[in-house]
Amino acid sequence: MLKAGYGITNLVERATVGSDELNVEELQRGRDVLERKTRKYRPRAVAILGVTAYRAAFERPKAIVGPQPEPLAGALVWVLPNPSGLNAHFTAPALAKAFRQLRERMATRERFRFG
């Protein structure tokens, strides 16, 4: 995916039954690791799975799924719904649409505007 200019990641690299098992400190450590990786690999965009995790890690309580107004180390930040079967808010077609929107945005190769 880096060849296409983006990567998709979880903020915490451990299995959980639900996002409620992750604490804010753990998510913020994940944010810091992600920022270092973003500086190193320099993707045009970083997609983060899970709006609840993103809100806590980045201290953005009103964030929604989709592109975010603030970049991370120069990369566009895009929040995707977590594809977990426990995520009842997004049906399979809605998940596909959210992921497709990111792919289409990256395919346009347009310059990203922040703010």
Q: Which residues have a Cβ under 8 Å from the Cβ of 115 and sit 6 or more positions away?
A: 69, 70
The residue assigned the tokens 């649409």 is 97
pLDDT of residue 114: 42
pLDDT of residue 113: 45
- Give the SS3 label for residue 114: coil
CA pair distance 34, 53, nearest whole angstrom:
13
Domain segments of the chain: what residues? 2-107
- Spans of the chain below 70 pLDDT: 1-2, 4-7, 17-19, 83-88, 109-115
pLDDT of residue 112: 47
pLDDT of residue 64: 94
Running DSSP on this structure, what letter comes out for residue 68? -
**pTM for the model:** 0.81
Q: Which CATH superfamily is domain 2-107 in?
A: Uracil-DNA glycosylase-like domain (3.40.470.10)
pLDDT of residue 12: 87
pLDDT of residue 5: 65
